[in-house]
Chain A
Amino acid sequence: QKEVEQDPGPLSVPEGAIVSLNCTYSNSAFQYFMWYRQYSRKGPELLMYTYSSGNKEDGRFTAQVDKSSKYISLFIRDSQPSDSATYLCAMRAYSGAGSYQLTFGKGTKLSVIP
């Protein structure tokens, strides 16, 4: 079983739809939870981060963490064609000797159709 599981999609939605992206994880050592957006041929760009269980909102984006279920979500409201990208969940753990590493999901490819 992989440490982080994410449905790769692809996911296709009409413009204006609410998008729900999800990841599950198995490592209880993960402390910080992030969502990155990656456009084709570009590096990942940090969208949201959360630490504790609960919701965090930033504009059209809401990140949700449920540590008891080891489940995180990203919701995108009023989706736009410019939101079309691959969305990666990432989780950070302390790996010893002053090192922190991110463990990523496979990424979900999202297309928002005008």
Chain B
Amino acid sequence: DAGVTQSPTHLIKTRGQQVTLRCSPISGHKSVSWYQQVLGQGPQFIFQYYEKEERGRGNFPDRFSARQFPNYSSELNVNALLLGDSALYLCASSLSPGQGKNYGYTFGSGTRLTVV
């Protein structure tokens, strides 16, 4: 079975630009969460989606937005990029928000975003 798929794997953007990151969850999983991992830190929660609806949002500015599609894939959009947005962006999938494998979630390998 395919795991969580994220694209692109790497991305370089200029300050002020906009970026879209994509995630395909494990087949059958209906919930997707996004996390930001800055170098040397643990992942930080950005969004959780379930059945195409936003169920939770972390402490991130409105420049960050996301959506989930009918096939349960998801996009994370970041507008007006700042240098501090440089990070590994991780997508995690689960059957439902509270029913991840062993109560955790299955993560993808992430998209490494560099803002210059």
Residues of A within 8 A of B (CB): 4, 6, 8, 32, 34, 36, 41-46, 49, 51, 88, 90, 92, 94-107
Residues of B within 8 A of A (CB): 4, 33, 35, 40-45, 48, 50, 55-56, 58, 90, 97-98, 100-110, 112
Instruction: Report chain A residues within 8 Å CB of B43.
Output: 44, 88, 102, 104
Distance in angstroms from A61 CB to nearest chain B CB is: 13
How many Å lie between the Cα of A107 and that of B35 in the bound state? 15
Distance in angstroms from A86 CB to nearest chain B CB is: 9
Question: How would you classify the secondary structure of chain A's contact residues: helix, strand, loop or mixed?
Answer: strand
Are A46 and B48 touching (Cβ within 8 A)?
no
Instruction: Report chain B residues within 8 Å CB of A100.
Output: 48, 56, 97-98, 100
Are A43 and B48 touching (Cβ within 8 A)?
no
Residue of A nearest to B103 (CB): A32
Instruction: Report chain B residues within 8 Å CB of A44.
Output: 43, 90, 107
> Can you list 11 A-B contacts (CB < 8 A)?
A6-B42, A36-B104, A88-B42, A90-B104, A94-B98, A95-B56, A101-B56, A103-B45, A104-B42, A104-B43, A106-B41
